[in-house]
């Protein structure tokens, strides 16, 4: 049978939900995540915000199946991620904070790796899809370059383009707009929103970017020191009366009374 004709030209996409139940993660005696429970609805853009070291990226690693939680469970589309059969059946992509691009391959090959390895399409379709993803992120000229020849921001965009080629039902973003200029950060926010509009892709975004969180998200969770403080709509998050949330979202620089000297921050 001809391989080219045997393959499906397009894969169907649907939305999947995510449920985290009483998740805790400790490294030796240090607890990084403490009894986290939340639910991301199918097709939703769910942003987790919090200061550095609050456990956001660790949470993302548990969801991606890169680490095993100390307690609790994660259900994707109703299936426990701890079950080895679940992961291959879920179409999920993770956009790493530093890109995690394959340095030995060109940008084009980085993007084409997933469909090639899973033999999803014929070479021409793969080429078309890769070029379309590169165009979406204004990276057409970078196709033949190697990741080492790109700036930090470009590497981030390539990582997002690689996720687009995977045509996932769930995308996990780890700080997608860090290291990007404001225009490109806005473009990335638009891409995330567009994936929801066009394909109903569920997005779980970990970010410091207040503009991204409060503009394109459906709901925002605030995570601090491993504890989930609140889950609310962007509007309610903006109006939150929680002093820690307020201070995180609207920090005021006070030279005379710096926050790092205050007791509540020291604890």
- Rounded to a whole number of angstroms, the minimum distance from the CB of residue 95 to other proteins is 10
Under the binding rule (CB under 8 A), the answer on residue 66 touching other proteins is: yes
- Rounded to a whole number of angstroms, the minimum distance from the CB of residue 138 to other proteins is 22
Under the binding rule (CB under 8 A), the answer on residue 118 touching other proteins is: yes
Number of residues that this document lists for the chain: 267
User: With respect to other proteins, which residue has the nearer C-beta, 80 or 181?
Assistant: 80
User: With respect to other proteins, which residue has the nearer C-beta, 117 or 264?
Assistant: 117
Which residue blocks in 86-151 are alpha helix, DSSP H?
A: 86-89, 107-117, 123-136
Nearest to 106 by CA among 157, 150, 169, 63: 150
Under the binding rule (CB under 8 A), the answer on residue 92 touching other proteins is: yes
Ramachandran angles phi, psi of 196, nearest 5°:
-70, -50
What's the number of CA atoms in the CB half-sphere (13 Å) around residue 27? 6
Q: Which residues contact 135 (CB under 8 A, 6 or more apart)?
A: none
Q: Which stretch binds other proteins (CB under 8 A): 102-110, 120-128, 192-200, 202-210?
A: 102-110
One residue of 73, 87, 146, 238 binding other proteins per CB under 8 A: 87
Q: Which stretch binds other proteins (CB under 8 A): 46-54, 113-121, 127-135, 193-201?
A: 113-121
One residue of 96, 108, 173, 248 binding other proteins per CB under 8 A: 96
Q: Which stretch binds other proteins (CB under 8 A): 85-93, 176-184, 208-216, 247-255?
A: 85-93
Q: Which stretch binds other proteins (CB under 8 A): 32-40, 75-83, 96-104, 247-255?
A: 96-104
User: With respect to other proteins, which residue has the nearer C-beta, 167 or 237?
Assistant: 167
Distance CA 192, CA 160 (A): 9
Nearest to 112 by CA among 91, 127, 100: 127
- Rounded to a whole number of angstroms, the minimum distance from the CB of residue 197 to other proteins is 24
Neighbour order of strands in the sheet with 79-80: 30-40, 18-27, 71-76, 79-80
Distance CA 37, CA 21 (A): 5
Long-range contacts from 128-137, C-beta under 8 angstroms, 24+ separation: 129/165, 130/165, 133/161, 133/162, 133/164, 133/165, 134/107, 134/108, 134/161, 136/161, 136/164, 136/191, 137/161, 137/164, 137/187, 137/191
Distance CA 30, CA 56 (A): 15
One residue of 102, 178, 215, 218 binding other proteins per CB under 8 A: 102
- Rounded to a whole number of angstroms, the minimum distance from the CB of residue 98 to other proteins is 7
Under the binding rule (CB under 8 A), the answer on residue 166 touching other proteins is: yes
Residue found by looking up tokens 């991606």 in the block: 64
Distance CA 173, CA 226 (A): 19
Under the binding rule (CB under 8 A), the answer on residue 191 touching other proteins is: no
- Rounded to a whole number of angstroms, the minimum distance from the CB of residue 68 to other proteins is 13
Under the binding rule (CB under 8 A), the answer on residue 101 touching other proteins is: yes
Under the binding rule (CB under 8 A), the answer on residue 68 touching other proteins is: no
Q: Which residues bind other proteins (CB under 8 A)?
A: 64-66, 87-88, 92-94, 96, 98, 100-104, 113-114, 117-118, 166
């Amino acid at each position: 049978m001809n391989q080219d004709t045997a393959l499906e030209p397009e894969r169907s996409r649907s939305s999947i939900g995510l449920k985290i139940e009483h998740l805790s993660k400790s490294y030796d005696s240090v607890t990084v995540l403490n009894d986290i429970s939340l639910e991301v609805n199918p097709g939703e853009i769910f942003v987790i915000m919090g200061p550095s070291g609050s456990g956001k990226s660790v949470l993302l690693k548990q969801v991606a199946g890169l680490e095993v939680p100390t307690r609790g469970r994660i259900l994707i589309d109703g299936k426990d991620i701890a079950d080895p059969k679940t992961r291959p059946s879920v179409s999920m992509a993770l956009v790493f904070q530093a890109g995690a691009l394959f340095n030995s391959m060109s940008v084009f090959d980085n993007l084409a790796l997933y469909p090639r390895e899973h033999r999803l399409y014929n070479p021409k379709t793969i080429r078309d899809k890769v070029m379309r993803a590169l165009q979406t992120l204004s990276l057409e000229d970078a196709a033949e370059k190697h990741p080492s020849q790109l700036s930090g921001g470009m590497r981030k965009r390539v990582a997002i383009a690689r996720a687009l080629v995977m045509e996932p039902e769930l995308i996990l973003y780890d700080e997608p707009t860090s290291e990007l200029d404001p225009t490109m950060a806005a473009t990335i926010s638009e891409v995330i929103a567009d994936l929801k509009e066009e394909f109903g892709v569920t997005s779980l975004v970990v970010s410091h970017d207040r503009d991204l969180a409060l503009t394109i998200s459906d709901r925002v969770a605030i995570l601090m020191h491993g504890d989930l403080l609140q889950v609310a709509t962007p509007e309610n998050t903006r109006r939150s009366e929680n002093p820690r949330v307020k201070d995180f979202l609207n920090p005021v620089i006070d030279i005379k009374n710096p926050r790092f000297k205050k007791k509540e921050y020291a604890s």
